[in-house]
Amino acid sequence: MTSAIFAKQIGLKNFFLRGLKIKIIKKFIKEKFIYKVITNNNYSIYKWDPSGTEVFMTQCFTDWGNEYLFLDSLKNRQNDIFLDIGCHSGYYPTLFKNYFKKIIGFEPSTKCINILKKIDIDNFYYHQYFVGDENISVVAGDSEDGYSFYSDNSNHKLSNLKNMNQITIDKFCKNENLENITAIKIDIDGMDLKVLYGGEEVIKLNRPSIIIENYTRELFHFFKDLNYSLLTLVSSKEKPYNLNLIELKNFDEDRWIKMICCIPNEYKNNYENNFFKGGIISGINKREILKTFYFKKNP
């Protein structure tokens, strides 16, 4: 996404005012500053972390509101365990900590693991693993902005090179005797589908809601016979502040999509409002999105 499109999406007012504010903050802080997220929990934003900056700039709408559609799909079930695949510096565990009995994060980056160690969330646990479709050992390292890549498949300058384990969701949950997995977030830069393949048994058994950064034909094929619906907020680069809530029936390469919510049909909700009109000055209509998805700051 170009900076011009991003500015329109969050609103020109927010782009310039919040952009100026965070520049000033970063100029005077040594390491980090505390930002209170929309659920009234404190999230640490580090100077080096572009993901944290995005949280601040979007005001907790990094995924366009799909994160709250995801939560709304869980309102009629007991929320036990949330798996955060690619938890980076802990934004989703911080945002969602009030909604689950247990949150388990997976993050391969040593730079991010050192941040996760400092997070004071009683129901949050983390593991330094890659997650994929097979259980193997890999050599990997960190980029400057806190992302981790295999050493033999990266154009990034990597540090902290070391041998690491890649696990599958199925094997991990079996080893840990985990049951009642009600929600999964997957955002790991190109390996998202492999995470699904490695967690197919857990998905069939637990039927979690899944929010994933993947929009491919293969995603539709994976869920074809699982009795799931794929919902998302879709926009356009011409008017990125307007959003349409749609159910995806097939792949269309012309759609502009950030995240997709894969929801078991038995927990799928019907919404009267499917169009969220924003504005170039104010950006995405955050208030209407939160109202539509019955979002509660303190569930």
Q: From residue 206, give the alpha-carbon distance in Å to each of 24, 72, 178, 183, 209.
A: 46, 18, 10, 9, 9
Q: Quick: pLDDT tens for 211-248.
A: 999 999 999 999 999 999 999 999 999 999 999 999 99
- pLDDT score for 165: 94
Its CATH class, for the domain covering 60-292, is: alpha beta
**C-alpha span between 169 and 190 (Å, rounded):** 17
Find the DSSP H helices in the chain: 3-10, 12-28, 50-58, 66-72, 91-96, 110-116, 169-175, 192-197, 200-206, 217-223, 286-292
Split at pLDDT 50, 70, 90, the class of 168 is: very high
pLDDT of 26 over the 80 cut: yes
- pLDDT score for 154: 58
- pLDDT score for 144: 76
Residue spans of the domains in the chain: they are 60-292
Split at pLDDT 50, 70, 90, the class of 197 is: very high
Lowest model confidence (mean pLDDT) among 127-131, 139-143, 181-185, 290-294: 139-143
**C-alpha span between 143 and 156 (Å, rounded):** 6
Q: Quick: pLDDT tens for 69-90.
A: 999 999 999 889 999 999 999 9
**C-alpha span between 118 and 116 (Å, rounded):** 5
Amino acid at 132: G
- pLDDT score for 140: 80
Split at pLDDT 50, 70, 90, the class of 139 is: confident
Task: Give the residues across from 244 on adjacent strands.
Answer: 234, 275
- pLDDT score for 153: 62
pLDDT of 298 over the 70 cut: no
Q: Quick: pLDDT tens for 142-151.
A: 777 777 777 6
CB-based contact 39:98 (threshold 8 Å): yes
**C-alpha span between 22 and 7 (Å, rounded):** 15
Beta strands in the chain (DSSP E): 32-36, 42-46, 81-85, 102-106, 124-127, 130-131, 136-142, 148-150, 159-167, 181-186, 209-212, 228-235, 243-248, 256-257, 260-264, 275-276
Burial of 131 (0-12, 13-18, 19+ CB in 10 A): buried
CB-based contact 124:73 (threshold 8 Å): no
Could you tell me which of 221, 222, 251, 218 has the C-alpha nearest to residue 234? 251
The total of other beta-carbon atoms located within 10 Å of residue 136's CB is: 12
**C-alpha span between 169 and 175 (Å, rounded):** 10
What values do phi and psi take at 2, rounded to 5?
A: -75, 160
Could you tell me which of 186, 188, 112 has the C-alpha nearest to residue 146? 112
CB-based contact 43:90 (threshold 8 Å): yes
Q: Which residues contact 15 (CB under 8 A, 6 or more apart)?
A: 6, 7, 57, 283
